[in-house]
Amino acid sequence: MGRKTIITKDREQRKLTVERIVSIPLKLSWEGWTKPEHIERWWGPRNWIATVYEMDVRPGGAWRYRIAPDTAGEGDAAFCKAIYTEVVEWSRLVYNDTFTDSQWNPVEGSDMLTFITFDEARGGTRLSIITQFASAEDLDQAEPMGMVEGYQETLERFEHQMQYILNQP
């Protein structure tokens, strides 16, 4: 733990990249991203909670979730739906993530193509999250809306929660 999250922005390619080596074995890292009982423990920034309504991790499968502040958090709840386009076990997830209303109707223009890669690394797993935005302007709005800080906190929570699971007898 105590590792650094590296964040880079590429306006030309409209990409936000978030990378971190977590002290979690590859298989457990994968399970942390693909099992609802795990993802509900860590998805979202600090002081937020996630509720998974559906998680069908296969090409064409959907992941429907809600994130909302807990009693200490600030902000409005967000409903999202991701559709997986590529799933390579232990290695790669690709999905199109979209904000929705509470009835799961997509919010126009909110699509974010997201690539998650899992690579064995010394002491754990290198996680790389690449989010591609529709425009450079959308990428520019990621930081003011809290997405950059949220990703940092999310990966910290991921490592903490999965480390807790790893250390259970």
Q: What percent of the chain has pLDDT over 70?
A: 98
At residue 142 the predicted structure's pLDDT band, cuts being 50, 70 and 90, is confident
Encode pLDDT of 92-121 as tens digits.
999 999 999 999 999 998 999 999 999 999
The answer to whether residue 2 scores a pLDDT higher than 60 is no
Token pair, residue 135, equals 């425009």
SS3 content of the chain, % helix, strand, coil (to 5): 25, 40, 35
Q: How far is CA 63 from each of CA 24, 69, 132, rounded to the nearest angstrom?
A: 23, 20, 18
Averaged pLDDT, 141-166: 91
In words, the CATH class of domain 6-166 is: alpha beta
Q: Where do the domains of the chain lie?
A: 6-166
At residue 168 the predicted structure's pLDDT band, cuts being 50, 70 and 90, is confident
Averaged pLDDT, 68-96: 93
- Give the pLDDT of residue 75: 82
The answer to whether residue 35 scores a pLDDT higher than 90 is yes
Within a 10 A sphere around the Cβ of 15, how many other Cβ atoms? Answer: 17
What is the value of pTM for the model shown?
0.92
Instruction: Classify 49 in phi/psi space as left (phi over 0), alpha (psi -120 to 50) or beta.
Output: beta
Q: Which helix (H) or strand (E) holds 10?
A: strand 6-10
At residue 71 the predicted structure's pLDDT band, cuts being 50, 70 and 90, is confident
Residue 47: phi, psi to the nearest 5?
Answer: 70, 25
The answer to whether residue 15 scores a pLDDT higher than 60 is yes
The answer to whether residue 163 scores a pLDDT higher than 70 is yes
- Give the pLDDT of residue 1: 45
Within a 10 A sphere around the Cβ of 18, how many other Cβ atoms? Answer: 21
- Letter string b/e over residues 124-157, b meaning 16 or more CB atoms within 10 A of that residue's CB: bbbbebbbbbeeeebbeebeeeebbebbbbbbbb
How many residues comprise the chain? 169
